[in-house]
Structure 1
Amino acid sequence: MDDGVHRPSTNAWLDDYFSRFMPAFEKAHYKNLRDFHALCLKVRDNGGKLMFAGNGASASIAAHGRVDFSKQGKVRGLDFNEPNLITCFANDFGYENWIAKAVEHFADPQDVVVLISVSGRSPSVVNAAKYAREKGLKVVSFTGSAPDNPLRQASDISFFFESRAYNIVEAVHMMWLTTVVDMLVGQPEYSVS
């Protein structure tokens, strides 16, 4: 089929594509991984919870994180992906405030807010980070795109992957989250039942 679109050879394209993930494995990220792990242990020991939120695919990553941290990592988790909650809070407080309002309604003092956004600029997550910090809650963020994004600036622990390729950044965010889960378990292979 010749539709006029240039497609690189499969191997060259894949080599380039997968090379874009390599910075995620650099030791520069180890400190954040260790710091988040330590924070999770503190949350678990204090009976707190991790509250996860994001928009779009980041909401799916948040939900996956909540399940794995709760089930495997033994750190209670909560996410705000319930349609009734989202539509109620967005309708009553504005979409830009719905996550902050969810944090307001569900947070306890020993909790941590985990916010995921490729751009780091979505008003709903940025406002949630600002609210959480004002209330003395720790904020952990997973962002990409530009290094000066406001969510990154408003975080206590900031996981940042410098790429504007959404699928790559989202995959890296998932990898970093599940790495910390496995750190809590203490090994990469284990029974999940």
Structure 2
Amino acid sequence: MKKEIISNYIENVIQTCKIINHNEIANIYDILIEAACVGGRIYICGNGGSASTASHFQTDLNDAFSIALKLMPATCLADNISTITAISNDYSYDDVFLHQLKYILNKKDILITISGSGNSTNVIKAAEYAKNKGNIVVSMVGFDGGELKELSDYYLHVPVDNMQISEDLHLLCCHLLSTLIREYRNI
């Protein structure tokens, strides 16, 4: 039974990998390079496991950009626990990313949201704010894409009804994007 569960999970990951739209990854790469080259910052947010992916992606992006372009333009909005708890306490958890963006988002910046369901309220509110300000919104979503897919200018949609596999492949795509950026001068 255990081996069957392991085998099925791995097979589901492999099959889902095969249906990821490579153009979505390439388009996100282009937007990240463009934003960095014009002096824009990349803000990233997500909840739960997606917050961990956002934090990991920020680290990998800054490493890749430091190699390719000698700069570090990425910031994860989920990384400062005291800021998150203060905003949650003083305002609402639904505003933890929106409230931060109000004071830091500039015209050249982009927002990357990560949500397995595509329906996390605090991530949606951040995306709506960025869109209303005229910023580009990029999302990584699973399931049917939820509201975030509709709000986004660019997205990576992992079309699977499984949160763990969606999160697995979001991280895989973050690693792909970081690898592409690291190889920027050779592409």
Tell me which residue corresponds to 2:176: 179
What's the offset of the Cα at 1:166?
A: 1.9
Distance change >3 Å, CA 21–CA 114, structure 1 → 2: same
What's the offset of the Cα at 1:146?
A: 2.6
Counterpart of 2:82, as a letter, is N
In structure 2, list runs of 5 or more residues that go unmatched. Answer: 67-71
In structure 1, list runs of 5 or more residues that go unmatched. Answer: 1-7, 188-193
What's the offset of the Cα at 1:122?
A: 1.1
What's the offset of the Cα at 1:143?
A: 1.1
TM-score (norm. length: structure 1): 0.85
Tell me which residue corresponds to 1:83: 81
Tell me which residue corresponds to 1:36: 28
Cα contact 2:20–2:157 (8 A) shared by 1: no
Cα contact 1:53–1:59 (8 A) shared by 2: yes
Distance change >3 Å, CA 17–CA 92, structure 1 → 2: same
Aligned residues: 178
Q: Structure 1 residue 150 and structure 2 residue 147: aligned?
A: yes
Q: C-alpha distance in 2, partners of 1:23/1:133?
A: 33
Q: C-alpha distance in 2, partners of 1:117/1:28?
A: 16
Tell me which residue corresponds to 2:69: none
Please point out which of 96, 110, 122 is paired with 1:112. Answer: 110
Cα deviation per residue 1:90-136 (whole Å; 9 max; x = unaligned)? 22331112211111111111111011111111110011111110001
Q: Which has the larger radius of gyration?
A: 1
Name which structure has the greater RCO, CA cutoff 8 Å, separation 6+: 2
More deviation in 138-147 or 21-30?
21-30
Superposed, which structure 2 residues align to 1:8-27 within 5 Å? 8=1, 10=3, 12-26=4-18
